[in-house]
Chains A and B, each alone.
Chain A
């Protein structure tokens, strides 16, 4: 690994990691952990640029092409807050397992805050975990908001949504999401109003078209203006015909991803008509 040590001038890779960690800046490190002996131990650090600035890459895995491909993947893993191994060819080729690279993300995981301790919450929490979220389930009813019902959640909070957001709202940012699944105006109107005060990148609320219309009226009464209503994804989820809690969780998470990446995907919000199509009957006989 002596070939891959950074030049003696400037901070070492370790010092860069410590510096970024102390400043709470996201940073990723990639290292060859298996493969050709001359590459093992090679490492590079990826520091994302601010805004649209390109990432800064320090260090090397021993090959420029491999560095390029791995830096790109490391930036992707970091954006998702994930760590794990990936395989490449010696020159970064895909579908090749010669070189095993461990990519470690140093980013606080983004947060998924789910209001409402219902069956959909458990499914959404599971999919949220798969996507790397720190999942919080919050409901004001202690009977429903229990760790036993939501073992996948990183935390289960018994509190009113708006009161909870008043406590943590300032710490939420563009990577974080809030999903309001209560479909009870008593809970979800204050939750949406409070969530609109935060900088979360995604805010969605569940409900039928009818629930949605009623909620819009109540939100307007509560003083929410058009900009806020436009930001709210309601009814929550992509229009993929999801039916079960698990399918709905996928529809919601797919919408979260599509919103983040800016891709055009059919959201229920942008359509009219029934959310659930009448299933086609199988032909008799």
Chain B
């Protein structure tokens, strides 16, 4: 999460709502290790990454949904083991689990 801290601190100082997404599990080939993080502000700003660019778009969508919705954390799994393999996958063939939550703590 280290890599997004500076951006998040700036957004928070500006009074923006922020969600953070963190890789908590990687199976098979995965580009980023557990702890890799991405932050999303309610002004559509993004910092950091959780994969090699494969799932960032989907993570942003989930984060926006959380910020605009019930604010509950979500654990999302991305990879070829998904039923909707064509929707969002990792080209490396691995599976990553990403925990997304509002930064209200």
Q: Is B2 within 8 A of A31, CB to CB?
A: no
Binding site for A on B (CB under 8 A): 1-2, 5, 9, 22, 24-25, 33-35, 72-73, 75, 97, 99, 101, 103-105
Q: Is A1 within 8 A of B34, CB to CB?
A: no
Q: Is B33 within 8 A of A83, CB to CB?
A: yes
Query: Closest CB-CB distance, B10 to chain A, in whole Å?
Result: 12
Q: Is A106 within 8 A of B2, CB to CB?
A: yes
Q: Is A6 within 8 A of B24, CB to CB?
A: no
Task: Across the interface, name the chain B residue whose C-beta is closest to A1.
Answer: B73
Measured in the bound complex, the distance between the Cα atoms of B19 and A285 in whole Å is 70
- A5 and B9 in contact (CB under 8 A), knowing A85-B25, A102-B34, A104-B35? no
- Chain A to chain B contacts (Cβ below 8 Å), 15 pairs: A1-B72, A17-B1, A21-B5, A33-B73, A33-B75, A33-B99, A34-B75, A40-B73, A40-B75, A83-B34, A85-B25, A102-B34, A104-B22, A104-B34, A106-B2
Chain A residues whose CB sits within 8 angstroms of the CB of B1 once the complex forms: 17, 104, 106
- A33 and B105 in contact (CB under 8 A), knowing A40-B73, A104-B1? no
Task: Across the interface, name the chain B residue whose C-beta is closest to A37.
Answer: B72
Task: Across the interface, name the chain B residue whose C-beta is closest to A101.
Answer: B24
Chain B residues whose CB sits within 8 angstroms of the CB of A64 once the complex forms: none
Q: Is A5 within 8 A of B5, CB to CB?
A: no
Measured in the bound complex, the distance between the Cα atoms of B2 and A104 in whole Å is 10
A96-110, CB under 8 A of B: which get 1 and which 0?
000000101110000
Q: Does A12 contact B (CB under 8 A)?
A: yes
Measured in the bound complex, the distance between the Cα atoms of B18 and A12 in whole Å is 15
Query: Closest CB-CB distance, B4 to chain A, in whole Å?
Result: 11
- Those of A9-60 within 8 Å (CB) of chain B: 12-14, 17-18, 21, 31, 33-34, 40-41, 43
Q: Is B2 within 8 A of A41, CB to CB?
A: no
Counting from the closest, the 9 A-B pairs by CB-CB distance are: A83-B35, A102-B24, A33-B99, A41-B73, A83-B34, A104-B35, A84-B34, A33-B24, A13-B105
Known: A1-B73, A18-B9, A102-B99. 18 other contacts (CB 8 A): A1-B72, A1-B105, A6-B105, A13-B105, A14-B103, A21-B5, A34-B75, A40-B75, A41-B72, A43-B105, A83-B34, A84-B25, A84-B34, A85-B25, A85-B34, A102-B22, A104-B34, A105-B35
Binding site for B on A (CB under 8 A): 1, 4-6, 12-14, 17-18, 21, 31, 33-34, 40-41, 43, 83-85, 102, 104-106
Contact of A5 among B24, B97, B105 (CB under 8 A): B105
Task: Across the interface, name the chain B residue whose C-beta is closest to A59.
Answer: B105
Q: Is A85 within 8 A of B103, CB to CB?
A: no
Chain B residues whose CB sits within 8 angstroms of the CB of A31 once the complex forms: 99
Q: Is B104 within 8 A of A5, CB to CB?
A: yes
Chain A residues whose CB sits within 8 angstroms of the CB of B104 once the complex forms: 5
Chain A residues whose CB sits within 8 angstroms of the CB of B34 once the complex forms: 83-85, 102, 104
Measured in the bound complex, the distance between the Cα atoms of B34 and A4 in whole Å is 23
Chain B residues whose CB sits within 8 angstroms of the CB of A84 once the complex forms: 25, 34
Chain B residues whose CB sits within 8 angstroms of the CB of A6 once the complex forms: 105
Query: Closest CB-CB distance, A34 to chain B, in whole Å?
Result: 5
